[in-house]
Structure 1
Amino acid sequence: MRPHWIVGKPEVNKHTWSMAFPEQKPQRKREDVFKEFRELFFSMNRLTSFPWTVSRRRNVAKGGRKLVDIGLMFSPSGSPCRLSESSLDLLCFPQPNGGAVSLLENVALISEGTTGLVTWEAALHLAEWALENQQLFSGRSVLELGSGVGLTGIAVCCSCDPLRFVFSDCHPAVLQKLRENVRLNGFGEQTSPAVSVEELDWTTATEEQIRRIGADVVLAADVVYDPEAAGSLAALMLKILSCGPAEVYVCSTVRNPQTYGGFKLQLEAAGLDHEVLSGPAGAVFPYHRLAPLELIKVFRKPNAAE
């Protein structure tokens, strides 16, 4: 009998099941365990005191927008790491088109009462997927929920040619950092695409606000981490899908299968269904790829009441 929080079609939820009950792995060598630990440790990219080599480069984003000089540190394995001079990091993520996404974010994983001031694996995973599916965004209006520091959205703006992009969050410090990062990458309401940053609280967002935004595509990365917020997120997605034929894509790092399964229960209770999508085939950005990541498309059930 499967747990109550694994719901819906078996072929869809096999991913959640396998994350919750992974197959027993054979005992590994001590050297292999140490190697994996070292990779996980360095993947946090938070160390600045090691005597690693420093390389400075200038990147130019799409459309000739100049980005600032930034330092990239390389660990002994050759992975790019953050270079910090204060409580803030200035990061550069090169893209396949020759441009780059530059971000200011906090060094601490949790700061000012939020986790939204750093980039998490799901945002990078979703950005890679978007770069491989640019046709879904070209010429369309895009809304991102829980944008954080803006990695996914800025990558879409730089490479996927959307008509309009709306970043959203509800924490004042996150909104301020979002606006800084949007300006840092040369975007604004008068640019192409037209880019704006909007406060959007999942619990109080109105249909009027959603219709005004008028999103054709909705993105969200690493927003499923709080069981108490899952119901509000599902209700907001129902509201968005009720206001128009939007496509909703959610990418999650499944840290707690029960929390993630609870979110899927909330989707079902709201009259929504989901489909698990294949992740990106290529590796564009450096991040911890051993993390259990899942990308889903959320939609209304065919028989849902209007």
Structure 2
Amino acid sequence: MEGEEEDDIVCLDESFFINDNYQLTTFTFGSQVLELYCLHSASTDFDLTGQLVWPGAVLLNEYLSKNAEMLQGLSVIELGSGVGVTGVLCSRFCKKVLMTDHSDEVLKILKKNIDLHASSENFPCSDLEAEKLEWGSSDQRNEILQRYPEGFDLILGADICFQQSSIPLLFDTVKRLLQIRGKGRCRFILGYVSRAKVMDQMVLNEAQGHGLSTKEVCGTRSVVGNLEGVIYEITLQ
């Protein structure tokens, strides 16, 4: 009888939750055509949302492609990079791009897309790298800043505000990265998509509470993926 009870026990490893059926997909933003591996449907694990390209990334990339001159020669760090569609676009204009994510599984596909881009003969490859960064982790942040002690010109984030508990940690990380360069020398550009009014207000409140100034970029409010999106520019007060 004891053996029969054991037969009823089902053990699931992490592969049950992970969809790694990545497909090479083409994205067009203005005159820029990108190819990246990504999923067309999500994993069952909420933690792996970074395997998809989300509406906020489309919004931010369209904005950046129309204003590519502002990226020329900059060093950039992206938070919550996912598959890397924004970072890869930036690498065509910036001198240095560091893409970050907190998920080891997402970092695998992110690095695969970096390798894909690095092997392309159509575009010169800028300094394009990926590192693990969990918002609020001083150890991981310090490891990055040891490698990049001069900080970055620009911080980017696309569709990264969807879990309330992560928002204070996000803005703590943003503030500390902005402080490396000091007031007026670095800014955070956020591609934000509205999914809940409580989140809309929380993002603005947390930015203000961290001593940051939030400005809606004129002309960027639009509908993407049936949701309202906007570009915010966030700086030290």
Normalized against structure 1, the TM-score is what? 0.62
CA contact under 8 A between 2:79 and 2:100: conserved in structure 1? yes
Conserved in 2, the CA contact under 8 Å of 1:225 and 1:260?
no
What runs of 5+ residues in structure 1 fail to find an aligned partner?
Answer: 1-85, 302-306
Q: Which has the higher helix share?
A: 2
Q: Per-residue CA shift, 1:156-184, capped at 9, x if unaligned?
A: 223xx211111110100110000011111
- Match 1:238 to one of 169, 175, 179: 175
SS in 2 for 1:224: coil
Q: Does residue 1:195 correspond to 2:132, yes or no?
A: no
- Give the match for residue 193 of structure 2: 253
For residues 210 and 30 of structure 2, what CA distance do their matches in structure 1 show?
39
Q: Cα offset for 1:289?
A: 4.9
Given residue 257 of structure 1, which amino acid in structure 2 is its aligned partner?
A: K
Aligned match of 1:299: 235
2:111 alignment partner, one of 159, 179, 185: 179
Distance 1:122 1:243 in 2: 26
What is the total number of aligned residue pairs between the two structures?
Answer: 207
> 1:164 is matched with which residue: 80, 96, 100?
96
Q: Is the alpha carbon distance of 1:296 and 1:211 closer, same or farther for their aligned partners in structure 2, counting shifts above 3 Å?
A: farther
Contact kept, 8 Å, 1:129 with 1:279, in 2: the verdict is no
Corresponding residue SS for 2:49: coil
Q: Structure 1 residues 279, 219: CA separation in 2 closer, same or farther (over 3 Å shift)? A: farther
Letter paired with 1:266: E
* Structure 1 residue 185, shift from structure 2 partner: 2.0
Q: CA deviation at 1:110?
A: 3.5
Shift of 1:257: 1.6
1-side partners of 2:224 and 2:212: how far apart?
31
Counting only pairs closer than 5 Å after superposition, residues 55-134 of structure 1 correspond to structure 2 as 87-97=21-31, 100-112=33-45, 113-134=47-68
Q: Deviations over 1:91-149 (max 9, x none)?
A: 1013544x521111123224443211000011011011111111221011011100011
Structure 2: stretches of 5+ with no match in the other structure: 1-19
Q: Which residue matches 1:276?
A: 216
Contact 1:187 1:194 in 2 (8 A): no
The DSSP-based 3-state class of the residue aligned with 1:251 is: strand
Instruction: Give the deviation of 1:89 after TM superposition.
Output: 2.5
Q: Contact 1:143–1:168 (CA<8 Å) still a contact in 2?
A: yes
1:263 positional shift: 1.8
Amino-acid identity (%): 21
Alignment of 1:222 onto 2:159: yes
Partner residue, 1:204:
137
Distance 1:95 1:251, change over 3 A: closer
